[in-house]
A and B are shown apart, each in its own frame.
Chain A
């Protein structure tokens, strides 16, 4: 009897949340479609966003079993070469986040809460395994959070393959252990008897290289002010929803098309915690305040995959080690201990584009980014650059407060 009532109640809550998610998505999509700089070339990306950004949808689209990922350290090329579709699970829905909030620590990462909320709603959850690199504490505890939230039974009933991430990336022993992890990962991927041939690996490397080339072209267009950051973030945001080849083709088509120039504003670099569709609160607020993001280092955007699997050695081992290194050493995730060179990426990107402000987005509960922002602030200010930290979550209640700050920030970086 009681459980019947609970179920009925849950059903109502789920129904309401689903509706909220749909309307969140619809609202953002409508805003995007009605923008002055919308062109038909963006339709592919809008449609991907519209048709549900879930591993199930990606499975239908690619015809491949997905491997569900969090973070950006699992080599996509290896997964692809094994005949799976790598899908980085993310969610930017505030409603989904709220749904999962009950029963989870108040400061739990909003992104993971949102993912868990979405998983709660999913009727038929994909059976595909999770591959989780041990980046931050929230990711490490993710299966436990899934269990607490009744998405899964016991934490060990969830199929997870861990990639134990050596947090010292600059040291040879750290890199050795990581390569070992990648070989273990290969074993995991091939546990059903399938094989990963060198040629397949080389082909996957080439496929993602082409995707990266397209990504770099888009980021160059953004830097030149010919592509709005909002569109750039949409395009990178849906990267995992389709095969990398299809995405690349669409991205190349968009890059080749005559785009309406982006809305011009004061140029800034966006750093910090990732931003996921449909939670485009920060990008919209930045635009509203007259700030134009011309480069970023978000793992949801420019850093969505490292793309630089370059090596002198084309053998299988050469590819494997090049891959593992670019996903490890090449990553500037703040969960690394020796991450002091991250600032150089920001400075390097700024130098080329001649802008002088950094907006640092901290998702509440994202402690590594929060902590690292202080050191970066000092270093940037020492160089006479302007810095603003925006600590926020998925809810829109602080929009006016953020707007006030951003407008004032724009004044501080305005050209005389």
Chain B
């Protein structure tokens, strides 16, 4: 079985379990390192960003009754999940990632060209995700402490296109409507609509456009020293053909450019391993769990696994 088939299976399984699992009694908790959106009715688990803003994180859940130990336990679980699977959560599991891949596939079917974002522009855009992390860290405590309106309690969810789009797969359309409860909620619902529109366009024209801005990706990247799963490169085996860069949904250059270090796990990398799959150099790119090599590129594999048109 080819890597891309396995990836497709885990992505679809992830989608089914995380989007509909709740209907069958699956409850995977509140610390999932991917967009398992709590706003999807009957979802199988919660995205950690929600908890992080709310009752088990910066929302000062610890101070307002849930208890420090509970918050820390969820955090520990999150760290454990990240440490085990790293960014496989992004490339192999995240339901919102799969939705983006569907949009890319649609674009491919229509023969529409993928828009290029210059590396410099992309680097700037990528900083947004750290900004969003700060936004998540600052606004909820202010709301909890009464400095801000209480509707600032989940400020990220309120602008997250996952919240507007993922519930659609469960028949829930309400997050696409304007919320006239108050000024803040109206503001947020307008912002969400605008952002969703921009993201839809972006995600159609550019692979994994949203991932550029994803604060969860930023958070997982901060935990990189703890992760067991890594993408690596053996620069002395690289022939510089540039295939890795071409197939990368995030248009990452570093894997191609790297000439000295095996560390190519950059902050934008989703560990999708498409680069390793299509690399025609023997033993140049791979995916490893601790020291155990899960996959290593080879010319034979690359030739064999190329899509048949």
Q: Tell me how many residue pairs across A and B have CB atoms closer than 8 Å.
A: 109
Q: Which residues of B contact A330 (CB under 8 A)?
A: 239-243
Minimum CB–CB distance for B297 against chain A, Å: 10
A313 within 8 A of B: yes
CA separation between A344 and B241, bound complex, in Å? 11
Give Cα A342 to B300, complex, Å: 19
Q: A interface, how many residues as a size bin?
A: 35 or more
Stretch at the interface among B107-115, B151-159, B187-195: B107-115
Name the distance in Å between B87's Cβ and chain A's nearest Cβ.
18
Set B113, B238, B284, B300: member contacting A313, Cβ < 8 A: B113
- List residues of chain B with CB within 8 A of the CB of A306: 241
Q: How far is the CB of B276 from chain A (nearest CB, A)?
A: 12
Report B235-253 CB contacts with A as 1/0, cut-off 8 Å: 1111111110011110000
How distant is the Cα of A330 from the Cα of B281 in the complex, in angstroms? 11
Which of chain B's residues have a CB closer than 8 A to the CB of A321? 246
Instruction: List, in ascending order, chain A residues with CB within 8 A of B282's CB.
Output: 348-349, 351-352
Chain B min CB distance to A179 (Å): 11
Given known A-B contacts A312-B247, A312-B249, A341 and B299 have beta carbons under 8 A apart: no
| In the complex, chain A residues whose CB is within 8 Å of the CB of B104 | 312
Residues from chain A with Cβ under 8 Å of B248 in the complex: 312
Q: Is A43 an interface residue (CB 8 A)?
A: no
Residues on A with C-beta less than 8 A from B281 are 344-345, 348
Q: Residues of B contacting A352 with CB < 8 Å?
A: 282-283, 298
A314 touches B108 (CB 8 A): yes
B112 touches A216 (CB 8 A): no
A321–B283 alpha-carbon span in the complex (Å): 25
The A306-354 residues at the B interface (CB cut-off 8 A) are: 306-308, 310-318, 321-322, 325-326, 329-330, 332, 341-342, 344-345, 347-349, 351-352
Chain A residue contacts of B300, Cβ below 8 A? 216-217, 220
Bound complex: CA of A326 vs CA of B304, how far in Å? 17
Give the residue name and chain of the B residue nearest to A216 (CB).
B303
Task: Establish whether residues B243 and A326, one from each chain, have CB atoms under 8 Å apart when the complex forms.
Answer: yes
B5 beta carbon closer than 8 Å to chain A: no
Contact A203 B302 (CB under 8 A): no
B242/A326 in contact, CB under 8 A:
yes
Complex-state Cα separation, A313 to B283, whole angstroms: 25
Determine which of A169, A202, A312, A315 lies in contact with B246 in the assembled complex, contact meaning CB atoms within 8 Å: A312
Q: Are A206's CB and B308's CB within 8 A?
A: yes
The answer on a CB contact under 8 Å between B249 and A213 is: no
Q: Which residues on A sit within 8 Å (CB–CB) of B280?
A: 307-308
B239 touches A345 (CB 8 A): yes
Interface contact A311-B247, CB-CB below 8 Å: yes
Smallest CB separation, B168 vs chain A (Å): 26
Q: Is the CB of A213 within 8 A of B309?
A: no
CA distance A219 to B302 in the complex (A): 14
Residue B306 at the chain A interface, CB threshold 8 Å: yes
Chain A minimum-CB-distance residue to B119:
A172
Beta-carbon contact of B283 and A348 below 8 Å? yes
Which residues of A in the span 178-204 have a Cβ within 8 Å of any Cβ on B? Answer: 198, 202-203
* A-chain residues with CB within 8 Å of residue B299 when the two chains form the complex: 216, 219
* Chain A proximity of B248: nearest CB distance (Å): 7
The 8 Å CB contact of B112, one of A315, A345, A347, is A315
Interface residues of B in 277-305 (CB under 8 A from A): 278, 280-284, 298-300, 302-304
State whether A315 touches B108 (Cβ < 8 A).
yes
Asked if A111 CB lies within 8 Å of chain B CBs, one says no
The contact of A308 among B113, B243, B249, B284, by CB within 8 Å, is B243
* Nearest residue, chain B, Cβ from A219: B299
Q: Check B246 against A348 for contact (C-beta < 8 Å).
A: no
Chain A residues closer than 8 Å to B239, beta-carbon distance: 330, 332, 341-342, 344-345, 348
Point out which of B238, B246, B247 has the most chain A C-beta atoms below 10 A from its C-beta. Answer: B246
A233 CB–B CB distance under 8 Å: no
Q: With the chains together, A119 CA to B278 CA distance in Å?
A: 40
Q: Let me know if B207 is at the binding interface, CB within 8 A.
A: yes
0/1 string, B248-271, CB within 8 A of A gives 1: 110000000000000000000000
A residues 99-127 with Cβ under 8 Å of B? Answer: none
Interface membership of B230, Cβ < 8 A: no
A212 located at the interface, meaning its Cβ lies under 8 Å from any Cβ of chain B in the complex: yes
B274 within 8 A of A: yes
Give chain B residues whose Cβ lies under 8 Å from the Cβ of A217. 300, 303
Q: How far is the CA of A209 from the CA of B278 in the complex (A)?
A: 12
Cα A321 to Cα B278 in complex, Å, equals 16
Q: How far is the CA of A169 from the CA of B241 in the complex (A)?
A: 10
Contacts known (A312-B247, A316-B111, A351-B282); A341 close to B306, Cβ less than 8 A = no
What are 19 inter-chain pairs, A to B, with CB distance below 8 A?
Answer: A203-B309, A213-B303, A213-B306, A215-B303, A216-B299, A216-B303, A217-B303, A220-B300, A306-B241, A312-B248, A322-B246, A341-B240, A342-B239, A344-B240, A344-B281, A347-B237, A348-B282, A348-B283, A351-B283
Binding site for A on B (CB under 8 A): 104, 107-108, 111-114, 207, 235-243, 246-249, 274, 278, 280-284, 298-300, 302-304, 306, 308-309
The 9 closest A-B pairs by CB, nearest first: A330-B241, A315-B113, A216-B303, A206-B309, A341-B240, A329-B242, A313-B114, A314-B108, A348-B237
Interface residues of A (CB under 8 A from B): 169-170, 198, 202-203, 205-206, 209, 212-213, 215-217, 219-220, 306-308, 310-318, 321-322, 325-326, 329-330, 332, 341-342, 344-345, 347-349, 351-352
16 other A-B residue contacts (CB within 8 Å) besides A213-B303, A216-B303: A213-B304, A310-B243, A310-B306, A311-B246, A312-B246, A312-B247, A312-B248, A312-B274, A315-B114, A318-B113, A330-B239, A341-B238, A345-B281, A348-B282, A351-B237, A351-B282
